[in-house]
Structure 1
Amino acid sequence: MALVTPLIWWLLLATKVFALVDCVRRKPYDFEMAGTLPKNIWLVILPVSILVDIVFQNPLGILPLLGTVAALVYLAQTRGSGY
């Protein structure tokens, strides 16, 4: 268990960083076409989720899990939409 928890933490952190990088690279028009939250909102949610993840360093805590869900929702709505 001592090896699994850090591995999960790194994987979820990498997912959040990937979502943030993808968000920065997308145009605001892409968010409108995908029917999701505006880019500015995602540019607040995703860095906060990364910061919470770094501060708590517990992938199974409630706040880090909420950040992970937010990143996965972002990826599903924007990358999954094809825009």
Structure 2
Amino acid sequence: MLGGAQGFVFYVFWAVAIVAFVVEIWAFVDAVRRPAGAYTAAGKLTKQLWMIILGVALLFGLAGAVALVSIIQMLPVIGFIAAAVYLADVRPAVRQYGRGGSSSSGPYGPW
């Protein structure tokens, strides 16, 4: 077992990995909910490509969260960066195109 400062640092890095994993889950779920046409209409990569990127990022984040890979190593960091790029750049661009086949929408938007 790690004691003292080493134990504290381990738990801090583990907490950061958990937070990064939650961000990656958020990005993946948001990408699933957006319609495929919104990505091309916004001038971004296709939905299929973003699903692959965010799926791999999710796997990297899971490996970091369960401490299979150290947070200092590059894979969890790369996964978080991919999710952050999606949330900061792609999500705002595709959000204006809605969520796709919503039955509660009228001809001029949601009721």
TM-score range, shorter chain: 0.7 to 0.9
Q: Which runs of 5+ in 1 are unaligned?
A: none
Matches of 2:40 and 2:57 in 1, distance apart? 22
TM-score (norm 2): 0.67
Q: Which has the higher contact order (CA 8 A, sep 6+)?
A: 1
Identical-pair percentage: 31
Q: Which residue of 1 aligns with 2:11?
A: 3
Q: Give, as a single letter, the amino acid of the residue that structure 2 aligns with 1:45.
A: I
Which structure dedicates a bigger proportion of its chain to helix?
Answer: 1
Q: Which residue of 2 aligns with 1:65?
A: 77
Q: Considering only aligned residues, what root-mean-square deviation do their CA atoms show, in Å?
A: 1.5
Larger Rg: 2
Answering whether residue 88 of structure 2 is matched by residue 76 of structure 1, we say yes
Deviation at residue 31 of structure 1 after TM alignment: 0.9
Which segments of structure 1 move beyond 3 Å, counting only runs of 4 or more?
Answer: none
Q: Which runs of 5+ in 2 are unaligned?
A: 1-8, 97-111
In the TM superposition, what whole-angstrom CA distance separates every residue of 1:54-82 from its partner, at most 9, and x where no partner exists? 23442221111111111111111222324
Paired residues, what number? 83
